[in-house]
Chain A
Amino acid sequence: MKTTSIMIVGVGGQGTLLASRLIGHVLIEKGYDVKLSEVHGMSQRGGSVVTYVKYGEKVFSPIVDPGEADFILSFEAIEGARWIACLAPNGKLITNTQKMYPMPVITGAMEYPKDAVEKLKGMSDTISVDALEMAKSAGSTKAANTVLLGVLSRYMPEIETEAWMEAIESIVKPQFVELNKKAFMMGRDA
């Protein structure tokens, strides 16, 4: 079988690592070979962050190169734009509509691209969601990551809802399990 490549992109502190670990967990339970790659350190301090998840019968390289991502899950509007070069010809972009201004925009050195999500929709197969608002109604804005994961899960039909719930139970801290389950289902059913 072909290896599937997922990129999770966002801003340090948005919870991209949790999302990738949940995906990794369900895929292993399904018996796939899985590789995850992440970069720690400087990139955590509010910088642009990228996590790769690849799965299939046998995975070699842990990283995703330009033109290779079957899915890009973007936690912030222009992070999807930053990494759009990585989307495969038939790939799908799932993006949060949330905007977070990077420092060059805050200092006035650069403009935040206008209508980034609309532009992405014009150039690729793109689904946008207001994950922050959905997470807020689930109980906390911190669960925006699981809302987005819920949206992605719609396109991984081989994984049943129960497997995702089990992953949340085994990885998320007990006091946040219910919140994350609710947030995930909001994304999955939206």
Chain B
Amino acid sequence: MKKLLLGNEAIARGLYEAGVKFVSSYPGTPSTEITEFAAKYGEVYAEWAPNEKVACEAALGASMAGARSFTAMKHVGLNVAADPLFTSAYTGVNGGFVICVADDPAMHSSQNEQDSRHYARAAKLPMLEPSDSAECRDFVSVAYEISEKFDTPVLLRTCTRVAHSQSLVELHERSEKELKAYEKNPSKYVMNPANGFKRHVVVEDRLKALEAYANESPLNAEEIRDTKIGFVTSGACYQYIREVFPDASVLKLGFTYPSPIEKMRAFAEKVEKVYVVEELDPVIETDMKVNGIRVDGGKELFGLIGELSQTKIAKAFGIDTNDARSFGEPVPPRPPVMCAGCPHRGVFYTLSKMKLTVIGDIGCYTLGAAAPLSAVDSTVCMGASVSMLHGFLKARPENAAKAVAVIGDSTFLHSGITSLTDIAYNQSIATVLILDNSITGMTGHQQNPATGYTLKMQPVPPVSLEKVCEAVGIRRVRVADPSDLKALESAIREELEANEPSVIIVRKPCMLLKNVKPKPALSIDPDTCKGCRACMRLGCPAIRFENKKAVIDNTQCVGCGLCEQLCAFHAIGEGKQA
């Protein structure tokens, strides 16, 4: 049976069919749906871990115990998991172990454009790169065969256009895999220097064997058509090349590290001109060049930044494409915004009004950086808000009453606890706001350890954020409601003035949660409205300004009441409109 599947859903199907027993991940666009779809299979144990490092270690543990295991993460998540990743190359596996990393060229939903193919080289691990959903499914089972045959973790790399595109996939039955026997084997799994040194030799020998395999693997396929021009490519770029140059020869790489050097050399000899087409860094190109293989064009044609596409490739070769018509006047951009009724809005309104330095973090609340709130001073990576505030205040202790960190509930559990420990241990007079909206929001509503439910919706005791903060040594911990602007502002003021570290847990569930019922939409009495624009400072998508008066869009308003609190003329409320 053929079905139209998202690349991520096809990977989950591949996991099911390959007999995978254990999946642990942390959500991250564009990788999230793999784990969500895997959780729908009763035969697969699947969980959300607090972060990618924990997920990777848990999956390594399940592999050591003999189960086929898996973890998925976005590109920056692999930075978090890099520590176990590098040493897992030394320990190798028992049950097959596959790590999926989803890159985001063009940064559709990310803070950088890193090329995770470098990780395969740095950690000395094999890497596979599917180019559509059918390959996503197929490559998973090949990855497990390689993992078990060569005793190595295997990296499966996708990008947004593979992860979030749907194409046809042939479904197969699950092939159940018994747990492999577990025997204590310190020389393989205890990576002290003496054992690790011996294992490094194993890693280098394995890489040589893998390179020989790469030259044999059917995943690296030579498609000889017209030999005037040949392309070496992988992943989504293969599809673009086939669209622009249907008659050209292609060396399609699916097993991309170690590079199939001999296949590359043979291909280059068969075609008159050989071009390397890859997004981001010149990884394939460099491997070919250092091995003395001719490359007639690569990065100088396509650049280092953003995604490629059929038209970008065609233009690089001077091929005519259809003219693009122009609307002829600027179309206002439509950036993502906090939803109407978002619990974060009141927080950023207040922080902006108080003119504080706001060290931000990763999540929906990154949107607090956008106009008109424009409250956020920095966004770097998961957990960085808390530790960067610590460093900021150690450098500028006189700013203690003028700076805060903001971090979400899921992000705090991901990597904010150790940062808060730094604040408590080394006593910076810092004020940290944990924005607890009771869900992992930006990635599309995943459960986390503080919500009280697992990925498979089993109820569990929720982590108490209050107790965690107290336990690491914060004495001033309080809870505030972001829907009461006056109370929130005075809570922030009090904690900024306190002469010790403090945490304010700003708690209100995400408006989009099913159990959060919207209140009746508010309206504005046009006769009472003075057009002062005080409500417009909230940056609420439900409020617009027309004919010198503010107007509420009743299809969007959920009655959160923030604008009502800001209106000095009491023009806003329920049923105010004539």
Tell which of B139-147, B165-173, B193-201 binds the partner.
B165-173
A175 interfacial contact with B, CB 8 Å? no
CA A124 – CA B309 in complex, angstroms? 25
Asked whether B331 lies within 8 Å of A82 as measured between CB atoms, the reply is: yes
Q: CB-defined interface of B532-549 with A at 8 Å, one 1/0 digit per residue?
A: 000010011101110000
Number of interface residues, chain A, beta carbon within 8 A:
58
A67 to B335: give the CA distance in the assembly, Å: 24
Tell me, in angstroms, the Cα distance from A24 to B336 when the chains sit together.
26
> In this complex, what residue of A is CB-closest to B32?
A40
* Known contacts A61-B239, A62-B161, A123-B325; is-contact A110 B370 (Cβ 8 Å): no
Closest to A3 in B: B243
Q: How far is the CA of A51 from the CA of B376 in the complex (A)?
A: 31
**Contact code string A29-65 (vs B, CB < 8 Å = 1, else 0):** 0000111111111111111100000000001111101
A103 touches B321 (CB 8 A): no
Q: Does A139 contact B (CB under 8 A)?
A: no
Dominant SS among interface residues on chain A: mixed
Q: Cβ of A85: which chain B residues have Cβ within 8 Å of it?
A: 324-327
B306 at the interface (CB under 8 A from A): no
- Would you give the shortest CB distance from A109 to chain B, in whole angstroms? 7
CB <8 Å contact, A81 and B327: yes
Contact B539 A42 (CB under 8 A): no
Bound Cα distance A35, B310 (Å): 15
Decide if B270 is an interface residue (CB 8 Å cutoff). no
Q: Are A84 and B544 CB-contacts (below 8 A) given A42-B109, A45-B339?
A: no
Q: Give every chain B residue within 8 A of A18 (Cβ-Cβ).
A: none
A38 and B339 CA atoms in complex are apart in Å by 20
B69 to chain A, nearest CB (A): 26
Contacts of B337 in A (CB 8 A): 45-47, 103
A40 to chain B, nearest CB (A): 6
Pairwise interchain contact B336-A102, C-beta atoms closer than 8 A? no
- Cα–Cα distance between A28 and B4 once the two chains are bound (Å): 8
- Which one of A44, A59, A81, A124 contacts B336 once the chains associate, using CB atoms below 8 Å? A44
Is B25's CB within 8 Å of the partner chain A? no
B215 within 8 A of A: no
Q: Show the binding face of B for A, using Cβ within 8 Å.
A: 2, 4, 29-30, 32-33, 108-109, 132, 160-161, 164-168, 236, 239-240, 242-243, 309-312, 321-339, 364, 367, 370-372, 442-444, 536, 539-541, 543-545, 555
CB<8 Å pairs between A and B, sample of 10: A36-B167, A40-B109, A40-B164, A45-B364, A60-B242, A65-B311, A66-B322, A103-B370, A106-B543, A113-B330
Knowing that A28-B4, A102-B332 are A-B contacts, what are 11 other residue pairs whose CB atoms are under 8 Å apart, sorted by A's residue number? A11-B334, A34-B4, A35-B167, A38-B164, A42-B108, A44-B444, A61-B242, A82-B331, A103-B334, A106-B540, A113-B331
